Amino acid sequence: MKLLYVFPEPLPLPRARGGQVVNTVAAIEREGIEVLLAHAPGEGEPFAAYGVAGGGAIASGLRAVAVSRALPWPFAWLHSNRMFMRRLAPLIGRERPDAVFVRHLKPACAIRRRFPALPIVYEAHEVFADTAAPVKRAAIERLERDALEAATRLIANSHATAERLQALYAPGREIAVIPNGVERQTSMPAKDWAQIAGAIVYAGSLFPWKGTAELVQAAARLPECALTIAGGEEAEIAALRSKVDPNGARIEFAGRLSSDRVRMLLERSCIGVLPNRADAESAFTSPIKLFEYMAAGCAVVASNLPALREILAEDDVVWARAGDPEALAAGIRALIADPARARLLGERLYAKSAQYSWNARGARIAELLRALKRLPR
């Protein structure tokens, strides 16, 4: 079976979804399915950038091809998803995939119009109508409805996403829930739990809904601690740095790190913090950084949100009220005061992370794809 994965964004991409896409297609290929990843040109080879084997000969079963989305000269500095799809169509004709996998609305609709007999798998990572600006909501809702109708099979990253899609659009068929994943080592990394107060970490993007502003406010209440914040753009980091209380925790802003450096940072950290606000975006999250904390054996302080409760049991982590800096600080203090408990929580989460490996994700998607191939064309 041959799958075309369509991703009209540059790869490598300095956002978590870039790694999610590359690791997902590699996991699908490991299930014996030939995968061609079509993406917009980026600076670097996508598989190498994320430490994933691939990019070799056709026989490898995993290939990537850059499809330009740039407009013709003299407007080459502009890009257009419509141009990407126009250039993708001949590729589909040549490759003749058995199915197409998409996570963007416009490509799903465009492929259905151009290739009506080609099965499409649409994977939802959010409900775009709920996160769109009010002035755009009606148009996005129509487009999202069309994308779901265009798809032969539907996948959601969380039960919350699936339930909201069902409530809003009633697509009339099952939405398979397949969470994101993580690369997991065969043994739990060793940590110095006696130094837990100096080994607190947040790794991820710095969008407001991620709750990093509240984490910095919480750090002001933890003068005995050291916190590393990895990720974000320079302007975002500067904005957070301006809010740091010099009398609070010592905060290191590590900036954007490679996936290998993030992994090494987490392996030596004891507490991972997931401080999401209760915003619309958080309602649909399947946070890769949570799975990374788990795979690294970190104890976790997490915002008490339904999407996270899908993954974590009551006694798996220390829960904090979303958007509340004092609650975050109290959760961190509770773990610092009891390193033995923190270690047990880290061990529990490491064991649980086996359910969320990229290989486990690839196996579930491959099962869905094989069933799809048996459908009449």
Rounded to an integer, the average pLDDT of 68-80 is: 69
Confidence of residue 286 (pLDDT cuts 50, 70, 90): confident
Rounded to an integer, the average pLDDT of 331-360 is: 96
Question: Residue 39 has which token pair?
Answer: 């993406």
Q: Residues 255, 289: contact at Cβ < 8 Å?
A: no
Residue 153: pLDDT over 90: yes
- Residue 338's alpha-carbon distances to 52, 135, 312, 335, in angstroms, are 38, 49, 20, 5
- How far, in Å, CA of 36 to CA of 85, rounded? 15
The values of phi and psi at residue 265, to 5°, are -60, -45
| Alpha-carbon torsion angle 162, 164, 167, 173, nearest 10 | -20
Domains 2-181+357-373 and 193-356 agree in fold: yes
State residue 57's pLDDT score.
42
Flag the least confident range among 51-65, 74-88, 128-142: 51-65
According to the 3-state scheme, what is the secondary structure of 22-85? HHHHHHHHCCCCEEEEEEECCCCCHHHHCCCCCCCCHHHCEEEEECCCECCCCCCCCECHHHHH
State residue 56's pLDDT score.
47
123 sits in which H/E element: strand 120-124
Superfamily classification of domain 2-181+357-373: Glycogen Phosphorylase B; (3.40.50.2000)
Beta bridge partners of 121: 101, 153
Q: Residues 106, 138: contact at Cβ < 8 Å?
A: no
pLDDT (tens digit per residue) in 14-39: 888 999 999 999 999 999 999 999 99
Query: Percentage of the chain surpassing pLDDT 90?
Result: 81
- The CATH code of the domain at 193-356 is 3.40.50.2000
Q: Residues 246, 278: contact at Cβ < 8 Å?
A: no
Residue 145: pLDDT over 70: yes
Q: Residues 229, 251: contact at Cβ < 8 Å?
A: yes
pLDDT (tens digit per residue) in 214-246: 999 999 999 999 999 999 999 999 999 999 999
The ranges assigned to domains in the chain are 2-181+357-373, 193-356
State residue 377's pLDDT score.
45
- How far, in Å, CA of 310 to CA of 186, rounded? 24
